[in-house]
């Protein structure tokens, strides 16, 4: 019988930190994970490139029978989601399929965590340049002051398994100091890149005492559970046999060796060729 899984997309490994929380909260559904490792990182790439790559991956998920795709990547959510939702989806043969991102669920709740009313967004250059976070937070929490800091060295540190090494200390301090130079009273740090939870212990070490450090996994998983409750027409379409399948656009052996650090348990992937 054909399955109708939920698609989980990232430029590479980072989305596995979100996927991990989603399967913990919603284990009953079938899932396909796709990491576009062959073309990652997305962070430094242009709007047009991130959009084209992301659309290609979304179309792949649709061909596999996914009625719902989650962009578990901030850069793709910032640079591609709106165009896919507003321009591409309505023109597709089945316009009832849905693509959701990670920015809105996070911006909906971020104001609950800050006492000073000052929040810091840590993300890739692409996410920061898009201004998606300040714009979206302004809609839900107009009184908040939002500061952003691009952390371009953090994804390479994590991808090269150096996130627990001394080099990580240097770059964690560097970007946090740059953020705090904008305002000393920032008390909530949002890890607005799905790779950054792996650096959380180091970030906690150099953050102001008493700071709240927010990852996105649990927030996105809770938001998906809420979405499915509010959209029974989508919930009923999804198959529920508890399958998880992993795909990468790069070498599966390399992906599997690294993916478990993000996912928390062993992963066996297959290769996908997109062109």
List residues binding ligand DGL (CB under 6 A): 10-12, 14, 40-43, 73-75, 124, 127, 155, 193-195
Question: Cα(151)–Cα(196) distance, rounded to whole angstroms?
Answer: 10
Question: Cα(78)–Cα(257) distance, rounded to whole angstroms?
Answer: 29
Question: Cα(208)–Cα(210) distance, rounded to whole angstroms?
Answer: 6
Would you tell me how many other CB atoms lie within 10 Å of the CB of residue 209? Answer: 6
Residue among 39 and 202 whose Cβ is closer to ligand DGL: 39
Closest approach of Cβ 82 to ligand DGL, in Å? 16
Of all residues in the shown chain, the one whose CB is closest to ligand DGL is: 43
Closest approach of Cβ 25 to ligand DGL, in Å? 19
Residue among 75 and 107 whose Cβ is closer to ligand DGL: 75
Question: Cα(172)–Cα(195) distance, rounded to whole angstroms?
Answer: 13
Extended beta strands in 138-240, E state: 145-150, 188-191, 212-214
Reading the block at residue 22, the tokens are 């989603």
Reading the block at residue 234, the tokens are 């989508």
Residue among 155 and 179 whose Cβ is closer to ligand DGL: 155
Closest approach of Cβ 210 to ligand DGL, in Å? 26
Residue among 213 and 238 whose Cβ is closer to ligand DGL: 213
Residue 73 known to be catalytic: yes
Closest approach of Cβ 78 to ligand DGL, in Å? 8
DSSP label at residue 68? E
Closest approach of Cβ 74 to ligand DGL, in Å? 4
Residue 57 known to be catalytic: no
> Is the distance from CB of 225 to CB of 25 less than 8 angstroms?
yes
Residue among 74 and 188 whose Cβ is closer to ligand DGL: 74
Question: Cα(51)–Cα(274) distance, rounded to whole angstroms?
Answer: 15
Q: Which string of DSSP letters, residue by residue, matches 247-260?
A: EESS-HHHHHHHHH
Would you tell me how many other CB atoms lie within 10 Å of the CB of residue 252? Answer: 18
Q: Kindly list the catalytic residues.
A: 73, 193
């Amino acid at each position: 019988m054909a399955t109708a899984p939920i698609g989980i997309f990232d430029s590479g490994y980072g989305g596995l930190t979100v996927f991990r929380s989603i399967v913990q909260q919603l284990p009953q559904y079938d899932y396909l994970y796709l990491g576009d490792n062959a073309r990652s990182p997305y962070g430094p790439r242009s709007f047009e490139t991130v959009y084209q790559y992301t659309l290609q991956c979304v179309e792949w998920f649709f061909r596999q029978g996914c009625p719902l795709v989650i962009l578990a990547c901030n850069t793709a959510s910032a640079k591609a989601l709106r165009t896919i939702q507003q321009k591409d989806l309505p023109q597709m043969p089945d316009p009832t399929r849905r693509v959701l991102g990670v920015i809105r669920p996070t911006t909906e709740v971020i104001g609950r965590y800050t006492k000073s009313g000052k929040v810091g967004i840590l993300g890739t250059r692409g996410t920061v340049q898009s201004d998606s976070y300040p714009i979206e937070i302004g809609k839900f929490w107009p009184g908040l002051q939002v500061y952003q800091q691009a952390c371009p060295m953090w994804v390479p540190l994590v991808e090269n398994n150096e996130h627990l090494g001394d080099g990580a200390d240097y770059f964690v301090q560097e970007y946090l100091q740059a953020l705090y130079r904008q305002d000393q009273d920032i008390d909530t740090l949002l890890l607005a890149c799905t790779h950054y939870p792996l650096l959380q212990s180091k970030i906690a070490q150099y953050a102001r005492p008493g700071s709240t450090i927010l990852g996105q996994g649990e927030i996105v998983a809770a938001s998906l559970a809420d979405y499915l409750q509010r959209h029974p027409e989508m919930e009923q379409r999804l198959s529920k046999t508890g399958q998880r399948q992993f795909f990468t656009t790069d070498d599966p052996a390399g992906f599997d060796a690294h993916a478990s650090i993000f996912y928390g348990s062993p992963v066996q992937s297959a290769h996908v060729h997109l062109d």
